[in-house]
Every structure is written in structure tokens, then in C-alpha cells.
Amino acid sequence: MDISSAQSTLDGPDPIEAAAYAWVLEHGLLDPAALAGHLARQGLDPLAAAPALARLAALRLVHPDPQDPTRGHAVGPEAAANSLAGPIEAEIARRQEELAHNRARLAGFLPYYLSGPRPQEGGDGVHVVTTLAEVRAALEQASAECRSEVLASQPGGGSRQPEAMQDALRRDHALLSRGVRMRTLYHHTARFNGPSQAYVEAAAGLGGEYRTAHELFGRLIVFDRELAFVPLCDGSWGAVMVRQESLVAYLCEIFEQAWAQARPFVSAAEEGLEQVAQEIDRTILRMLAAGLKDETIARRVGLSLRTARRHIADIMEQLGAESRFQAGYAAARAGLLEED
């Protein structure tokens, strides 16, 4: 039976289904004739007994005895829901696996596509890749072809995915072993993150250079000052590949300005947890005084939105401020907004 035909009203089972379900629970029977008599005594239609039992069976609420179909048992709604969901979830998992397999196969064609003619770019040197598999394949190709230099800005503190960091470390090892110079910017918050510390320590040992800043301009990777990767603005895993000479030069200049103002990467413990935390709080204070939203503050300092809001609440409590305007005013009077 089609389960959709067995559905009742959105408010719950109809009276006959409810009576049938309660009767099976009590008597352990799936006998339509016996149920019909029970329904008649309840003032319900006895001819509805067999259809009601069929609907309950379709919903996995009742199960017949293999030895005697007139006997059976009823189960709880949650168990019935799990029974119904099992085959659907298995099919979803199979389809997801099939989709992932196809994406991986198609990603293998990306290097050929990127190296071939692309008239759809309109000659502007800008190309969009929309999936994580495509981005990884493009980064692999760019890394393999890189000759002299990589510049990278990796915002987000410790929020990078471990799998992505492992891929990056493998690419970094191959690049550095060829004598390619690598410079990477992180947020100060990365100093508190164990995996980030381990990653930087390993790559720095191979010759990589790492610095941190209060706030960063965004994610960026540039190879040989010829090819830049910037994220799509929709928040997806896609990226824009930029080859246009003036645009790449402009992005490199932004990086160099941020690099000059950043400080060498050390763990928060080495430099002092309190000092690093105070610097982050001062940066948040300046942004509060400028009227920036929580989401913008979190992104710029490399914190999750929840953590940023906790910092903001703590700062306002310490200043005795009930509003952001008051917090900014109190911080300014106390000299907390002045640059070091």
C-alpha cells in the first residue's frame, strides 16, 4: 500500500485508526472480524476495520505474527518512524555517495579545462569555479606550476577544516622543497589554536614565513604574482581565479601592506595569553565604536559569531556600558582606542 494513502489528518489519527491501534495494543490481535465487533460497540463503522488495520500496517505501527496473521503486536510511533525512515535514509546515502563519486571523477578533468581555451571568460582574465573539488584541483595545478612565490591570507583563526590544512601542508612541502618562497597571514586568534600552531611549526621548519594581524582583508592565495584565488561572495566553497595583470598586482599590494603591519606568528602562550587577548579586545572595541555589526566584527578578527558576541558582552560589562555607544565613549575616555 502507498504510505501516502494511509496518512491521516495533520492533527493526528482519525477515530477509527486510534481505536484500532489501542485495540491491537491491548489484545495483540490483527483479526478484522474481531476488530469490527469492537468498533461497532464503540459506535464506529465496523466495515472500516480491515482498511484501518491495513493503514496501521503501512505506517509500521502494527506487525503481524509470522505464524498467525490474525495475531500481532503494536509498536511506538518513534519505532515506526525509524522503520519507515531506514530505507529512505539508505537511498539518500547511496545517492550522496554516487554524487561524491561523480564529482571526484569530473574534477579530474579540471586541469585540462583550465589549460585549454576559455572564450566564456570574455578575455577579462577572471574565471569562476563553484565547487570545493574544482577549487582543490585548481590549487593543485597552480601549486605544481608555481616557480618562485606564494602569498596567502587565511582569515578565521582556527576555523579552517583539518582536511584542508592537511592538503595545504602537503602542497606547502612540495613548494618549499623546490625553493618557492611562501608567506602567509593569519588572524591573531590562530595563536590560540593547537592545529594551526602545529601546522605553522611544521611549515616554518621547511622555510615558510607566517605572521598574524588583528584583522585581515579576506581570504587570498596568489601564485607567482600571476594567478590569484579569492572566495566567492556567496559564502560557498567556490572561488574566483584571477589572471588579469592589474587586478593581481592590486591584490598583491594589499597583501604587502597587511604583511608589513603584521607580526611574526608565535603561540599565545609564548607571547602571553593576556597580552594577545587584550589586543583582540582593543580591536573589537575600535570596531564597536565604529558601529560595525557583530557579523562583521567576527569575520574581521577571525572569531566565530558566538565567540565574538561573548567577547562583546564581556567588554561591555567591564566598561559598565549598556549600549555600544556607551562602550565606545567609555573606551575612548579611558584611552583604550589608541593604537599602541
**CA-CA distance, 134 to 109, in Å (whole number)?**
9
Full domain range(s) for residue 140: 125-268
Output the domain CATH number for residue 182: 3.30.870.10
Q: Do 245 and 195 fall into the same domain? A: yes
Q: Do 258 and 294 fall into the same domain? A: no
Here the cell at position 4 is: 501516502
pLDDT in tens, the chain (340 residues): 343 333 444 456 789 989 999 999 989 888 898 899 989 998 999 899 899 999 999 888 999 888 888 898 888 888 888 888 888 888 888 888 887 777 777 777 766 666 655 444 445 788 899 888 888 889 889 998 999 999 999 887 555 566 667 777 888 888 999 999 999 999 888 887 777 888 888 888 889 999 988 788 889 999 999 999 999 988 788 999 999 999 999 999 999 999 998 888 876 555 556 666 777 777 888 888 777 888 888 877 777 788 888 888 888 888 887 777 777 777 777 676 665 5
Output the domain CATH number for residue 296: 1.10.10.10
Alpha helix segments (H runs only) across 108-234: 110-115, 132-145, 162-177, 194-204
In the DSSP assignment, the letter for residue 206 is T
* Angle, in degrees to the nearest 10, between helices 132-145 and 162-177: 10
Q: Do 236 and 289 fall into the same domain? A: no
Question: What is the CB-side half-sphere exposure of residue 59 using CA atoms within 13 A?
Answer: 21
**209-213 and 263-264 as β-strands: parallel, antiparallel, unpaired?**
antiparallel
Please indicate, yes or no, if residue 86 is contained in any of the structural domains.
no
**Counting Cβ atoms within 10 Å, is residue 138 exposed (0-12), middle (13-18) or buried (19+)?**
buried
